[in-house]
């Protein structure tokens, strides 16, 4: 039997991970053509058909099983190794998201009042949390969802929920972000959930952001729009006011976010959970100037409800890197 030491970050989770999740995480790293009936409880095992195996790690009749939290046991017959383990994995973006989500879940203590973020990374965090709860490694937590989607997902995953009115001070919030700058300011809301996120995360003593390394930027607004939630009434007037505010900013534009409505056969305004619209602020080279001043100026426009710049709110950012390492950035 060969024991392939895996860095412990792969299985931070205090539980034995669910087969589907192991498969999703490992496949991109080792190119394993997992074929399987993946219904097994722990210990779970996967077999790869010898002929179709493209992994340098596996020989004929290779049998791959996961029996522990922090190590992978690779059993071969005959017991020898064909080639050394892959030295530095190049993780896909999805695997990086899972990695930081696992790390964040490992930080949650029993009896935490927890803000539950929205988006693909936050959803992975919720899954991890649910695993810990169902394994009994974590208990007595209660979550405040930051969107209708997260509310629905948390219910599916049996995560107990509460609301801001009942818990106006939260211990911790965990959420993804679209961009993170060097001061840990964020852009959020490209998925449309910025208002509830800002309320819940602003009410948290600690706000931990989980991102893959593509989210780190030198300046906010460089990889995409900065969303602004506006009331539908007079939305085109509000856009005019936003354009006035950024007049002279080279390459600036402000556009209503729309989605395709198959029923209507046309683009219609995207609606937030609060039945509002989103205006995307587009900057050619990112937003420049004092973010606090800019934030106040945007919020002073009457039709604006909130924007997706989160200034000084994150207490730490967990960054998952392509090479499988985790970096923690703390607020100064
Ligand atoms: O509206 C969406 C939220 O602000 C998300 O947290 C953000 O868009 C990051 O999402 P993801 O983890 O899917 O990149």
> Residues 158-179: pLDDT tens digits?
999 999 999 999 999 999 999 9
Burial degree of 188 (CB within 10 A; 0-12, 13-18, 19+): buried
From 94, 121, 145, 280, give the residue whose CB has the most ligand 1 atoms within 8 Å, as the site to mutate. 121
107 and 161 assigned to the same domain: yes
Percent of the chain with pLDDT over 90: 73
Tokens of 277: 């619209």
Domain boundary among the residues 40, 75, 110 is at: 75
Distance in Å, CA 192 to ligand 1 centroid: 8
Whether 142 shows a pLDDT value over 70: the answer reads yes
The pLDDT value given to residue 77: 38
Q: 118 vs 9, which has greater pLDDT? A: 118
**Which atom of ligand 1 has the smallest separation from the CA of 211?**
12
Please name the residue whose Cα sits nearest to atom 10 of ligand 1: 119
Single out the catalytic residue among 5, 127, 183, 197: 197
Nearest ligand 1 atom to alpha carbon 197: 4
| pLDDT tens-place string over residues 264-323 | 999 999 999 999 999 999 999 999 999 999 999 999 999 999 999 999 999 999 999 999
Query: 261: domain range?
Result: 226-308
Query: Is the predicted ipTM greater than 0.90, yes or no?
Result: yes
Residues 48 and 178 in one domain: no
Instruction: Calculate how far, in angstroms, residue 82's C-alpha sits from the geometric centre of ligand 1.
Output: 42
pLDDT at 239: 98
Rounded Cα gap, residues 122 and 242, in angstroms: 30
In terms of domains, do 12 and 136 share one? no
Q: Is residue 83 part of a domain?
A: no
Question: 318 and 190, same structural domain?
Answer: yes
Same domain flag for 182 and 324: yes
Pocket around ligand 1 at a 6 A CB cut-off: 117-122, 175-178, 188-194, 197
pTM of the model: 0.77
Q: Phi, psi at residue 290, to the nearest 5°? A: -75, 115
Residue 283 domain-assigned?
yes
Query: Is position 183 within any domain?
Result: yes
Give yes or no for residue 5 having a pLDDT over 60: no
How many angstroms is it from 51 CA to the middle of ligand 1?
A: 40
Q: Which of 95, 89, 59 is nearest to 74 (CA)?
A: 59
Confidence at residue 36, expressed as pLDDT on a 0 to 100 scale:
32
How far apart CA 47 and CA 107 sit, in angstroms, is 33
The CATH number of the domain holding residue 290 is: 3.30.70.260
308 CA distance to ligand 1 centroid (A)? Answer: 11
Minimal-distance CA residue to ligand 1 atom 9 = 177
DSSP-derived secondary structure letter, 147: S
310: β partners: 186
Q: Is 213 noted as a catalytic residue in this protein? A: no
**Phi, psi (deg, nearest 5) at residue 163:** -135, 170
End-to-end CA distance of the chain: 47
Mean local confidence (pLDDT), 235-252: 96
Residue 80 lies in a domain: no
The average pLDDT across 58-72 equals 34
What is the distance in A from the centroid of ligand 1 to the CA of 175? Answer: 8
**Location of structure tokens 């200034």:** 311
Residue in 94, 101, 122 to alter for ligand 1 test, most ligand atoms within 8 A of Cβ: 122
Domain boundary at 75, 106, 125, which? Answer: 75
- CA-97 nearest atom, ligand 1: 12
Return the ligand 1 atom nearest residue 120 CA: 13
Inform me whether the pLDDT recorded for 7 exceeds 70.
no
Q: Say if residue 18 is in the same domain as residue 126.
A: no
**Best mutation site among 191, 228, 276 for ligand 1, i.e. most ligand atoms within 8 A of its Cβ?**
191
Instruction: Tell me the two tokens of residue 72.
Output: 């992978």
- The number of angstroms, rounded, from the C-alpha of 86 to the middle of its chain's C-alpha atoms is 26
Distance of CA 158 from the midpoint of ligand 1 (Å)? 22
CA dihedral 144, 257, 209, 182 (to 10 degrees): -150
């Amino acid at each position: 039997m060969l024991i392939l030491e895996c860095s412990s970050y792969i299985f931070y989770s205090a539980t034995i991970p669910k087969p589907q999740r192991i498969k999703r995480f490992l496949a991109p790293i080792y190119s394993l053509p997992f074929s399987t009936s993946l219904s097994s409880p722990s210990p779970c095992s996967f077999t790869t058909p010898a002929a179709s195996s493209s992994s340098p790690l596996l020989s004929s009749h290779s049998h791959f099983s996961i029996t522990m939290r922090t190590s992978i046991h690779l059993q071969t017959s005959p017991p020898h190794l064909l080639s050394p383990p892959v030295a530095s994995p190049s993780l896909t973006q999805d695997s990086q998201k899972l990695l930081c989500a696992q790390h964040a879940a490992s930080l949650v203590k029993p009896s935490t009042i927890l803000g539950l973020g929205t988006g693909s990374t936050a959803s992975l965090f919720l899954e991890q949390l649910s695993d810990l709860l169902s394994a009994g490694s974590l208990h007595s937590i209660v979550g405040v969802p930051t969107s209708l989607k997260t509310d629905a997902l948390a219910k599916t995953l049996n995560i107990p929920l509460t609301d801001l009115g009942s818990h106006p001070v939260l211990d911790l919030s965990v959420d993804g972000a679209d961009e993170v700058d060097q001061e840990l300011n964020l852009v959020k809301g490209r998925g449309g959930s910025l208002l509830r996120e800002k309320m819940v995360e602003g009410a948290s003593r600690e706000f931990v952001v989980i991102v893959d390394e593509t989210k780190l930027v030198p300046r906010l607004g460089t990889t995409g729009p900065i969303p602004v939630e506006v009331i539908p009434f007079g939305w085109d007037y509000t856009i005019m006011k936003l354009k006035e505010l950024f007049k002279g900013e080279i390459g600036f534009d402000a556009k209503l976010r729309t989605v395709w409505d198959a029923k209507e056969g046309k683009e219609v305004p995207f609606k937030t959970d609060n039945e509002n619209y989103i205006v995307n602020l587009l900057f050619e080279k990112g937003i420049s100037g004092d973010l606090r001043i800019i934030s106040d100026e945007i919020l002073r426009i009457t039709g604006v409800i909130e924007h997706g710049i989160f200034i000084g709110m994150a207490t730490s950012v967990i960054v998952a890197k392509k090479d499988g390492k985790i970096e923690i950035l703390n607020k100064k």
